[in-house]
């Protein structure tokens, strides 16, 4: 990354929405990492399908970067994230890139350039700009490629890591979330599939596509997410806050503890939404778990968002637990001994999807049940008089 205090040449796409966005990032960022540009599709080779998320497909590609002045060519492996049906792209389609650009701009102003440079690479995924598939006309986001995969895959493969190493990984994730919150941004779709790895312990947070400023109004917006990671207040019609992300982090702590996906044994439907609102959480236990870990996890997923700790206070507690773990290591319990794995449930959906209609139905159903219970209690009280 470089600190830029002078103008530079950059390419445009010819699309008004995309070009206005590129000009915005070039104007409002002091850092090269926050500045986007358009890259011609013919600069990419060996393009192959890599993965599919809730809203897009990811491709692995080789970016051929030619420097005519130096007369040399560099090759870099990158990921291309397809923006579905983006031929007629809107500014909303570019929200993920805008959040990253704003993140860079806000943190560089808040902390100063030098400190921001130290932390950007270990917090959120690095984005380079936009390209366009000449056949489909869909636009694609250019970003770093992470061969270690996401946290879900990582935990499946490396669950038997020591608790000390797991705590280092959690602290790395939380550092990223803290800096996102420090930039007044709420992730809103924080889960183990949106955490990538470029080394054995350094976490990279991605998919800021539905993120928003913590001061933005979000009335009439569709709610997206994976039900087990969504905070109960969102299911009850309240606004997203940084505490909503903290709830999701508490669920991620549970994944580190068990190696399982939350509520893998239940259908992710209206019933689960209602049960979460009524206090249901994944099963917690204390055997072979570092002291203080479970209590901290439960604080993170408290039903009252005002009683959840901030990212900064969680960091302090995790650092203390990590230090204790270094002195007195906790034995890792074999995976099947923790929670026996039942047959994979097709009703457990771990891709982000629109949830607003389900939430409305859950709110209505829950209110009907509560009203019925209240009336029944009233009848019983009258009968007892």
Question: Which single residue is written with the structure tokens 């917690």?
Answer: 284
Q: Which of 319, 68, 308 is nearest to 175 (CA)?
A: 319
| Residue 69, φ and ψ in degrees, nearest 5 | -65, -45
Alpha-carbon distance of 137 to 173, in angstroms, equals 35
Cβ neighbourhood burial of 385 (10 Å; 0-12, 13-18, 19+): exposed
Confirm whether 189 is a catalytic residue: yes
The answer to whether the CB of 211 falls within 8 A of the CB of 57 is: no
The answer for residues whose C-beta is within 8 angstroms of residue 150's C-beta and 6 or more apart is: 192, 193, 194, 195, 196, 197
Structure tokens at 106: 């806000």
The answer to whether the CB of 64 falls within 8 A of the CB of 75 is: yes
The answer to whether the CB of 281 falls within 8 A of the CB of 263 is: no
Cβ neighbourhood burial of 342 (10 Å; 0-12, 13-18, 19+): exposed
Q: Which of 14, 12, 75 is nearest to 43 (CA)?
A: 75
Exactly one of 133, 138, 189, 245 is catalytic; name it: 189
CA 23-27-31 angle, to 5 degrees, is 115
What amino acid positions are annotated as catalytic residues? 189
């Amino acid at each position: 990354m470089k600190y830029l205090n002078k103008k530079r040449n950059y390419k445009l796409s010819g699309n008004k929405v995309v070009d206005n966005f590129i000009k915005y990032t070039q104007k409002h960022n002091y850092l090269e990492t926050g500045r986007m540009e358009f890259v011609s599709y013919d600069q990419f080779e060996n393009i192959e399908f890599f993965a599919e998320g809730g809203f897009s497909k990811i491709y692995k590609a080789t970016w051929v970067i030619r420097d005519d002045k130096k007369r040399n060519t560099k090759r870099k492996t990158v990921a291309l994230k397809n923006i579905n049906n983006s031929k007629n792209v809107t500014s909303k389609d570019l929200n993920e890139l805008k959040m990253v650009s704003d993140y860079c701009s806000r943190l560089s102003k808040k902390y100063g350039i030098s400190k921001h440079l130290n932390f950007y690479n270990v917090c959120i995924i690095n984005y380079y700009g936009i390209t366009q598939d000449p056949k489909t006309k869909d636009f694609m986001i250019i970003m770093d490629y992470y061969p270690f995969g996401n946290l879900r895959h990582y935990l499946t493969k490396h669950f038997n890591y020591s608790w000390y190493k797991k705590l280092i990984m959690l602290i790395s994730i939380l550092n990223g979330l803290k800096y996102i919150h420090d930039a007044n941004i709420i992730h809103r779709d924080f889960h183990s599939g949106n955490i990538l790895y470029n080394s054995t312990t350094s976490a990279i947070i991605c998919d800021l596509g539905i993120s928003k400023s913590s001061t933005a109004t979000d009335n009439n917006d569709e709610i997206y997410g994976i039900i087990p990671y969504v905070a109960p207040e969102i299911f009850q019609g309240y606004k997203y806050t940084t505490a909503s992300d903290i709830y999701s982090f508490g669920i991620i702590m549970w994944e580190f503890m068990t190696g399982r996906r939350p509520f893998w044994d239940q259908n992710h439907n209206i019933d689960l939404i209602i049960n979460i609102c009524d206090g249901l959480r994944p099963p917690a236990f204390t055997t072979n778990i570092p002291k203080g870990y479970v209590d901290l996890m439960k604080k993170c997923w408290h039903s009252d968002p005002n009683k959840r700790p901030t990212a900064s206070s969680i960091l302090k507690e995790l650092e203390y637990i990590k230090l204790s773990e270094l002195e007195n290591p906790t034995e890792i319990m074999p995976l099947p001994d923790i929670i026996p794995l039942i047959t994979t449930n097709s009703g457990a959906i771990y891709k982000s999807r629109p949830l607003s209609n389900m939430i409305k139905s859950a709110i209505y159903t829950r209110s009907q049940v509560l009203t019925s219970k209240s009336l029944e209690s009233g009848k019983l009280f009258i009968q007892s008089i």
